Structure 1
Amino acid sequence: MTTTEAGPDDPEAATRQTVRGKGRSKGRGSVRSGQVAALRPGYQAELADGTDRFFEPRRTDCPWCGSLRLRHRLRTTDLLQHKPGVFVLDECQDCAHVFQNPRLTGPGLEFYYRDFYDGLGEQRLGGVFGTRTAAYRDRARSVLPFAAAPGRWLDVGTGHGHFCESARELFPGTSFDGLDLSEGAELAERHGRLRRGFRGSFPELAPQLAGQYDVLSMFHYLEHSTEPARELAAARQALRPGGLLLIDVPDPQCRSARLLGRWWLPWLQPQHLHLMPVANLRRRLGELGFTVVLEQHGEPHDPVDLLAACWLLLDAFAPREDAPWLPGEPPGRLRRALRGALFVAGAPVLLLATLLDRLIARFAGRAGLSNAYRLLARRD
């Protein structure tokens, strides 16, 4: 699994970049067509036996609290890449934890992440990485009242390290390290965005990082992890006593999630495996020896819910773009023209949705419409 700073970390940026990608140049389109053709035989061979092997057996208990009282919250498909498969989110009726059930296996995660942030997807998302400086600074600014000059900061799920590059403007004396499963952390170190870039699993690397950090951040990272409790325990191990843990995650209890249903972008199936209500995360942090010193809802809200829902609806009804995992022949000129015409016709709706998103953002936190929440906790 690859955790980067576009897509799950930046849903608005990723969605806007995807929309802009519809107008790419002919030359760029022909390059993509060649890549799709080269990848098609491998994908089709991989899918010849179906997708059942990509899923674990369905579990009958809640992975957060162990309750047996589960109910289906959502059933959906891959609305972004349109890779085959049906994904179910269950909700615990006791603690309200939402989780993918059945969950993807390791090969399943590899299959569905492939060509989303790298390969074919990198063409569309690659330009996003350095464009979110204001959001990155806002995240870092939430630490200032509690640690004006931390010595060392570890950003887990750092991607290409752009958050750390922006945060350094507020904390010029802080040494920023980053950790990621992808090679992005190593690339960020070579480009000078990180003092040190670690590549690998955080729970496995945590023992060698024990007690080294004053601040540790996880931005839209926990929802991608197979075992969030292990990640939180690793964070406690890597922090010094009195160190701060900063977490941003989607809020499955926000009103937008219920109003928009499967078209709410932060469900992000099949990538998001766990979505934790804020009360659950606060309680777990307390059990691990943390004290929550800050809870925010309006500030981490990303004003993209309506735009993303409208775009996903248009995309669902439009003829498919060419992709190596889709069956049949590549789309011809007529299908491509119909797809373009549909998005042109839908442009006023997308513009209106964008304006409404910005209007809602002014009171999203107070109205329970914020699509994310932020917790800052101190290790006791």
Structure 2
Amino acid sequence: MSKQTEIEALRSAYRRDLAEGTDRFFEPPRTTCPWCGSGRLTTRLRTTDLLQHKPGAFGLDRCEECGHTFQNPRLNDTGLEFYYRDFYDGLGEQKMSGTFGGRTKMYQGRAQAMVPHDPTPKNWLDVGTGHGHFCEAAREVLPGTAFDGLDFTDGVELAAREGRVERAYRGAFPDLAPDLAARYDVVSMFHYLEHSTDPDRELRAAHETVRPGGHLLIEVPDPESRYARLLGRWWLPWLQPQHLHFIPVANLRTRLTDLGFTVVAEQHAEAHDPVDLLAAVWLALDHAAPREDAPWLPTPPGALQKTLRAALLLAGIPALIAGTLLDRFAVRPFSHRLRVSNAYRIVARRD
């Protein structure tokens, strides 16, 4: 089946989903911070879906008490299903698999973060593993480690079929944790917590799953990055509407300590992914250009729209190249000093 045929087959289903508008995809707005309970909230960002361009408007609020930033109002289960659909699976599966599959060096760097603390873990559970590309790459760094994967999408089952993980667990981590209690030397959560509806529940599940003396490895976007303010809605890690929570590093350290972990490492420059300026240019160009066809559009774009889109993207190539060069060669060596690292990484030992 061609992509265009697949889009047309899905269009009527999306039309039914959107017939009543997008308000039904959201919970009632919160008046208190989900992290600390404070009522001192301010608006941090208002934006739209800049990646899939599905209809809807999304807001991020910041707690003035603890600094936690969160989606408000938050997507409900129906909304999460709608906005995740055809991103990592379905129409988007091939694209995402190619994107994640080409980042071997980054994945190996994540695995290296564990080496000073446990150079020979026997077993490792990667939570939010997607298609298992991290596990496949990490095996080169830790050849004696058995890597298992957990995810709520069918990507984890694909990872098992492809041999990237030894065991595949499909479902919600907190629901599966009791059956995995104290089983793993290492549990990793790479860019997973920001997607979860309840990060604290996920952290408690991790504490249950890591054996005493074992380690939890977390990497999340850094809401305190200067890029978050300078680039505004064009900062890729905002990733609305999928990212629900942005946790300042001090908050996460405190919560881990309260749960019974000892933080043994905190990394910023090492976790930085040098794509901010390139991504900002691309998001702006893609937003300005006529839409590429997708099943949530009421009708396919015409020939003129396709021509205008191609012309605008072609004209933007010099800006995309400039963004890439600045990201990799001008900013990356000084990312931590400039406080623009877009992520941070924590290694914590279960006491």
Q: TM-score when scaled to structure 1?
A: 0.90
1:59 counterpart residue number: 30
Q: Deviations over 1:166-205 (max 9, x none)?
A: 1111211111111110122222222222121111110000
| Whole-angstrom CA distance in 1 between matches of 2:188 and 2:132 | 12
| Whole-angstrom CA distance in 1 between matches of 2:184 and 2:121 | 9
SS of the equivalent of 2:212 reads strand
Q: Counterparts in 2 of 1:250-269, with a 5 A limit?
A: 250-269=221-240
Q: State yes or no: 1:333 paired with 2:303.
A: yes
Given that 2:131 and 2:155 are in contact with CA atoms closer than 8 Å, whether structure 1 keeps it comes out as yes
Q: State yes or no: 1:104 paired with 2:75.
A: yes
Which of residues 171, 182, 197 is equivalent to 1:200? 171
SS of the equivalent of 2:213 reads strand
Q: State yes or no: 1:278 paired with 2:214.
A: no
Q: How many residues align?
A: 350
**Which amino acid is 2:86 matched to?**
D
| Whole-angstrom CA distance in 2 between matches of 1:190 and 1:41 | 32
CA RMSD of aligned residues (A): 1.0
1:39 counterpart residue number: 10
2:94 counterpart residue number: 123
1:343 counterpart residue number: 313
Q: Counterparts in 2 of 1:1-380, with a 5 A limit?
A: 31-327=2-298, 329-358=299-328, 359-380=330-351
Shift in Å, 1:126: 2.7
Given that 2:218 and 2:345 are in contact with CA atoms closer than 8 Å, whether structure 1 keeps it comes out as yes
Q: Deviations over 1:107-140 (max 9, x none)?
A: 1000000011112212322322321110010000
| Whole-angstrom CA distance in 1 between matches of 2:106 and 2:346 | 16
| Whole-angstrom CA distance in 2 between matches of 1:137 and 1:123 | 22
**Which amino acid is 1:110 matched to?**
E
| Whole-angstrom CA distance in 2 between matches of 1:349 and 1:339 | 16
**Which amino acid is 2:93 matched to?**
E
Shift in Å, 1:31: 2.1
SS of the equivalent of 2:224 reads coil
| Whole-angstrom CA distance in 2 between matches of 1:192 and 1:126 | 15
Shift in Å, 1:325: 1.1
| Whole-angstrom CA distance in 2 between matches of 1:366 and 1:197 | 40
**Which amino acid is 1:184 matched to?**
G
Runs of 4+ in structure 1 over 3 Å off: none
Shift in Å, 1:244: 0.5
Given that 2:89 and 2:155 are in contact with CA atoms closer than 8 Å, whether structure 1 keeps it comes out as no
Q: 1:317 to 1:138 in 2, by over 3 A?
A: same
| Whole-angstrom CA distance in 1 between matches of 2:297 and 2:161 | 37
Given that 2:97 and 2:131 are in contact with CA atoms closer than 8 Å, whether structure 1 keeps it comes out as no
Shift in Å, 1:250: 0.2
| Whole-angstrom CA distance in 2 between matches of 1:180 and 1:123 | 18
| Whole-angstrom CA distance in 2 between matches of 1:183 and 1:121 | 13
Comparing 191-200 with 58-67, which one deviates more in the overlay? 191-200
Q: Deviations over 1:218-267 (max 9, x none)?
A: 00000000000000000000011111000000001100000000110100
Shift in Å, 1:141: 0.3
Shift in Å, 1:152: 1.0
Q: 1:187 to 1:324 in 2, by over 3 A?
A: closer
**Which amino acid is 1:262 matched to?**
R
| Whole-angstrom CA distance in 2 between matches of 1:169 and 1:134 | 11
| Whole-angstrom CA distance in 1 between matches of 2:253 and 2:17 | 41
Unaligned ranges ≥5, structure 1:
1-29
